[in-house]
Structure 1
Amino acid sequence: MSKRKNSGYKKPDKNSKSDKSYKKPNHAKGKPKSGKPRGQTAVTNSRQHGQKATTATVTCSGLTGEGKGLVKWEGKQLEVAHLLPGETAEIRVSKKGRYRNAELKRVVKQSDDRVDPPCPYYYECGGCQLQHMSNQAQGRFKQNIIDSIMKPFGKPEPILTMDHPYDYRNKSQMTFGRNKERQIIGGLYAQNTHRIIPMDRCLIHDPKADEIVQTIRGLMKSFKMQPYNEDTGQGFLRHVLIKVGQVSGEIMVVLVAASPVFKGKNNFITAFRKAHPEITTLLLNVNKRDTSVVLGNQEKVLFGKGTITDTLCGMTFEISAKSFYQINPVQTEKLYAKAIEIAELTGKETVVDAYCGIGTIGLVASQKAGNVIGVEMNNDAVRDAIRNSKRNGVKNARFYQGDAGEFMMQMAARGDKADVVLMDPPRSGSDEAFLSSVVKLQPKRVVYVSCNPETQARDLKYLTKHGYAVEGIQPVDMFPQTYHVEAVTKLVLEK
């Protein structure tokens, strides 16, 4: 993939400070208009707090790992959201304590990579960070991030991008509240706030999910259902979580409420099913806690079986409300195909699937492995993995609840062998206890899937110091329109 001057990832210097994202003003009916930043827009509230704001003209020299433009101002390096390399722009700089916040006021000279964001909520929401970049520029940006971070371990392969980089999320959630006119609204929180942005459509959600959310909002008004108020603790409906099987077409809707008392439940369900007969299951989840965690522990199935199924890499998986399941199936198939390829399975290998979740990658690997051992701390996920194994008629996979590091230490102590370890840790990466267990077990190959290249690089440094060599790095764009990038890396035990 070609590179352009000043289009790459640059690490911020020690004087770099985070900025506040440029936000469009609120418009009538809560729908912001689309378009590029313009000079006359009110950008900052710094004057309301007695802070003096300065306007400056700057040129962007590169991007941070979060896709923010890097500029120099009075000897300081600042980060400016929605600014591209090579662009000249007016920014507004304000000081809050010892930090300086830089906000985009107007682009004076545009990059060829700039496009009009198709989402009308883009500048206000913050859930996507790269819609002002062309798809080609997004690919280069993510490639450069991986190339820079993984430089000590070799040259990564060209990133696997997505042909249609929208509508890909098979899991979405919206929050309900009231606006100043006391009307019920549904949407997403503005970045770093609990202020709801009313929206009809999120362009990376499955379109059917957003359609269902709008129906729920209308039914709330008809049935006098009160949205939950975080400040007062009053009200009923907090969130809605929707999961869509993109191959099966099955749809799960989870109403997250503050109370198990659902007034008018039967009539609501009847009206809801009439509006959307395609929904296969509806659940009520009760979350009474004052927390940012969406789902509570209490759950009741209102109709359907309480789960949906979907097909991934030719295998069928059962998905519950709390199951972790990759949110972009199209790109997941590319990711898993690469992971199985570099695992070099011949039908004889023993594979340990650490962090196995509901068993997705382990069960896919079982088609080409001798046997698979999946280990996962979450007991519910282990039960899901066992059910998925039976559902697909897999005879050569076993799943265990426990700490994967301890499990592998016990394997090594017994003299058991593993040919391949598959690991897909959370964004925080792995830890030394787990990595040392890999070293102790000494599998011939380690296939490391990561959604955070920085923590992956940290873990690769440990493994390469303890007998492993990196033999391949494949980035995958799992989350188009955002700065996130995934990578699968192959490590082999040096003789």
Structure 2
Amino acid sequence: MSKRKNKTYKTNKNNTNLSRKRNTKNSPPASSRGQKNMTAEVTCTGLTNEGKGLAEWKGKQLEVPQLLPGEKAEVTVTKQGKFENAELKRVIESAEDRVEPPCPYYYECGGCQLQHMSNNAQAGFKQKTIDSLMKPFRKPNPILMMDHPYDYRNKSHTTFGTNQQRQVIGGLYAQNTHEIIPIDRCLIQDPKADEIVETIKDYMRNSKMQPYNEDTGRGFLRHVLIKVGKVSGEIMVVLVAASSEFKGKNKFVKTVRAAHPEITTMLLNVNKRDTSVVLGDQEKVLFGKGTITDTLCGLKFEISAKSFYQINPSQTEKLYGKAIEMAELTGKETVIDAYCGIGTIGLVASKEAGKVIGVELNKDAVKDAIRNSKRNGVKNARFYKGDAGEFMVEMAARGERAEVVIMDPPRSGSDEAFLSSVAKLKPARVVYVSCNPDTQARDLKYLVKHGYKVEEIQPVDMFPQTYHVESVAKLTRK
């Protein structure tokens, strides 16, 4: 793993120096932004739900990234208008839970927020966070952590550009900026993906392939998306380009595949829009069948470039296993899989349910779910494009019943229209899978007010080294 020359992290027990040089070529000087920088010495008293340290300063509460409870530190406070932003400059007295982050890009990237915490400290922080959020309902189970909390991401996304010397670079955007941090190895994603990206960088440096420039609108390659089948070993490489005209594509495919014969498919995705959305609508297969397959909970799933598939399969199996256990299926129940996506949890449930009905607004995801159902020989699952809430209201109006509703909404949680449809359908059990316990707690409050009781809550560490916590809750009708 190569380390950046401009990084000067020095750590010992009582003095951790976190000052570093940042690439500020795209940033105006502080004076032009009306900012005022001050240095302050603070003591951390706790953590936010995002893992930032809390500290008092001049009667105000600062949120300081990478600061741990009990630590005394020197911070830089940037005042802009009514707001103060704080950045950790130097740890004067370290906590026992502090460790040296193994990633050399940790303090610049922002993709991980907890690498400065020991694994036990991360578990304690996440447990405390979800215990606090779920206190109105019941005490959650101990969080299910990951044995090896690295290399778990089966999907990687690299952005390409040039540095000040006009050399090709690839990496991730620094937090809250469009400044690319050149990264050779991301410790939380599959190592194979990083190796492939390095080969693509070398190809670009030795050929005339140019990265896309957001300011000028010139250049070809914007991003590279890689998906890895953790069980199957199949690998998909998606080039996201600003043009459909790919000169030398045969040479590119041949070169990259010669270095990485494990690649089973390559695609060209065209995105001409000035947007933060990575993938465009136009897609062309360069090699292979355009999809990969992987196995989850004993079932095979076909994954396309745009398919949603859980990022951490090993932890997903723990999460889904717990969700199916909470559903208490006997082989007779009708199960609604709301927000079903490509059908993963619904198809897993089909092995123990009488009938599964999956509902999803994304038509492409529904097509994938139907294909996955056929691939696995599942006869008792049907998938429909539509709004799951409206679907359940119509079921209730027809006098139809479902004993179990499994819901896995986006980070924003559910809305009142959907939750009210659950109340109207009156399933005996609701299994709520959530990637955001904040919105889950809000939605549980609604369901409790409308006839349900929270019986069990199981947190799962789906995204080690980050502050995110996945949670599954079981509710029964009173």
The aligned counterpart of 1:487 is 471
Letter of the 2:37 partner, please give it.
A
- Asked if 1:459 is matched to 2:438, the reply is no
User: CA offset at residue 91 of structure 1?
Assistant: 1.3
Instruction: State the TM-score, normalized to the length of structure 2.
Output: 0.95
Rounded Cα–Cα distance in structure 1 between residues aligned with 2:262 and 2:422: 46
- Asked if 1:171 is matched to 2:150, the reply is no
User: CA offset at residue 222 of structure 1?
Assistant: 2.0
- Asked if 1:315 is matched to 2:294, the reply is no
Rounded Cα–Cα distance in structure 1 between residues aligned with 2:307 and 2:273: 20
Rounded Cα–Cα distance in structure 2 between residues aligned with 1:365 and 1:478: 20
- Cα deviation per residue 1:186-239 (whole Å; 9 max; x = unaligned)? 000000011100010000010000000010111112221010001111100000
User: CA offset at residue 103 of structure 1?
Assistant: 1.4
The aligned counterpart of 1:472 is 456
Rounded Cα–Cα distance in structure 1 between residues aligned with 2:10 and 2:451: 52
The aligned counterpart of 2:269 is 285
Letter of the 1:112 partner, please give it.
E
- Residues 9 and 17 in structure 2, CA contact (< 8 A), matched pair in contact too: no
Identity %, equivalent residues: 76
The aligned counterpart of 1:38 is 17
Distance 1:381 1:33, change over 3 A: farther
Rounded Cα–Cα distance in structure 2 between residues aligned with 1:374 and 1:33: 52
Query: After the TM superposition, which of the residue ranges 48-57 and 413-422 deviates more from structure 2?
Result: 48-57
Rounded Cα–Cα distance in structure 2 between residues aligned with 1:169 and 1:41: 28
Rounded Cα–Cα distance in structure 1 between residues aligned with 2:111 and 2:216: 27
- Cα deviation per residue 1:300-347 (whole Å; 9 max; x = unaligned)? 001100000000000000000000000000100000000000100011
The aligned counterpart of 1:361 is 345
SS in 1 for 2:471: strand
- Residues 8 and 20 in structure 2, CA contact (< 8 A), matched pair in contact too: no
The aligned counterpart of 1:138 is 122
- Asked if 1:128 is matched to 2:135, the reply is no
- Asked if 1:437 is matched to 2:421, the reply is yes
- Residues 473 and 490 in structure 1, CA contact (< 8 A), matched pair in contact too: yes
Rounded Cα–Cα distance in structure 2 between residues aligned with 1:140 and 1:151: 16
- Asked if 1:346 is matched to 2:325, the reply is no
- Residues 90 and 105 in structure 1, CA contact (< 8 A), matched pair in contact too: yes
User: CA offset at residue 269 of structure 1?
Assistant: 1.2
Distance 1:127 1:408, change over 3 A: same
User: CA offset at residue 38 of structure 1?
Assistant: 1.2
The aligned counterpart of 1:382 is 366
The aligned counterpart of 2:78 is 94
- Residues 286 and 297 in structure 1, CA contact (< 8 A), matched pair in contact too: yes
The aligned counterpart of 1:371 is 355
Query: After the TM superposition, which of the residue ranges 265-274 and 425-434 deviates more from structure 2?
Result: 265-274
Instruction: State the TM-score, normalized to the length of structure 1.
Output: 0.92
User: CA offset at residue 275 of structure 1?
Assistant: 1.1
User: CA offset at residue 101 of structure 1?
Assistant: 1.5
- Residues 4 and 104 in structure 2, CA contact (< 8 A), matched pair in contact too: no
Rounded Cα–Cα distance in structure 1 between residues aligned with 2:34 and 2:308: 46
Distance 1:39 1:254, change over 3 A: closer
Counterparts in 2 of 1:216-365, with a 5 A limit? 216-365=200-349
Query: After the TM superposition, which of the residue ranges 218-227 and 246-255 deviates more from structure 2?
Result: 218-227
Rounded Cα–Cα distance in structure 1 between residues aligned with 2:35 and 2:288: 56
- Residues 116 and 132 in structure 1, CA contact (< 8 A), matched pair in contact too: yes
Task: Give the one of 349, 373, 396 matched to 1:412.
Answer: 396
- Residues 34 and 121 in structure 1, CA contact (< 8 A), matched pair in contact too: no
SS in 1 for 2:103: coil
Counterparts in 2 of 1:44-123, with a 5 A limit? 46=30, 51-123=35-107
User: CA offset at residue 52 of structure 1?
Assistant: 3.7
The aligned counterpart of 1:7 is none
Rounded Cα–Cα distance in structure 2 between residues aligned with 1:39 and 1:258: 38
Rounded Cα–Cα distance in structure 2 between residues aligned with 1:340 and 1:150: 21
Query: After the TM superposition, which of the residue ranges 100-109 and 449-458 deviates more from structure 2?
Result: 100-109
Rounded Cα–Cα distance in structure 2 between residues aligned with 1:283 and 1:238: 14
User: CA offset at residue 32 of structure 1?
Assistant: 3.6
Rounded Cα–Cα distance in structure 2 between residues aligned with 1:301 and 1:238: 17
- Residues 225 and 239 in structure 2, CA contact (< 8 A), matched pair in contact too: yes
Task: Give the one of 153, 166, 182 matched to 1:198.
Answer: 182
Rounded Cα–Cα distance in structure 1 between residues aligned with 2:234 and 2:19: 47
- Residues 35 and 116 in structure 1, CA contact (< 8 A), matched pair in contact too: no
- Alignment length (residue pairs): 467
Letter of the 1:373 partner, please give it.
I
- Residues 61 and 70 in structure 1, CA contact (< 8 A), matched pair in contact too: yes
User: CA offset at residue 34 of structure 1?
Assistant: 5.2
Rounded Cα–Cα distance in structure 1 between residues aligned with 2:200 and 2:83: 42
Rounded Cα–Cα distance in structure 2 between residues aligned with 1:196 and 1:92: 23
- Residues 430 and 475 in structure 2, CA contact (< 8 A), matched pair in contact too: yes
- Asked if 1:154 is matched to 2:138, the reply is yes
Query: After the TM superposition, which of the residue ranges 229-238 and 39-48 deviates more from structure 2?
Result: 39-48
Rounded Cα–Cα distance in structure 2 between residues aligned with 1:215 and 1:34: 29
- Residues 47 and 53 in structure 1, CA contact (< 8 A), matched pair in contact too: no
Letter of the 2:423 partner, please give it.
V
Letter of the 2:191 partner, please give it.
P
SS in 2 for 1:457: helix
Rounded Cα–Cα distance in structure 2 between residues aligned with 1:39 and 1:459: 40
Letter of the 1:491 partner, please give it.
L
SS in 1 for 2:136: helix
- Residues 176 and 238 in structure 1, CA contact (< 8 A), matched pair in contact too: yes
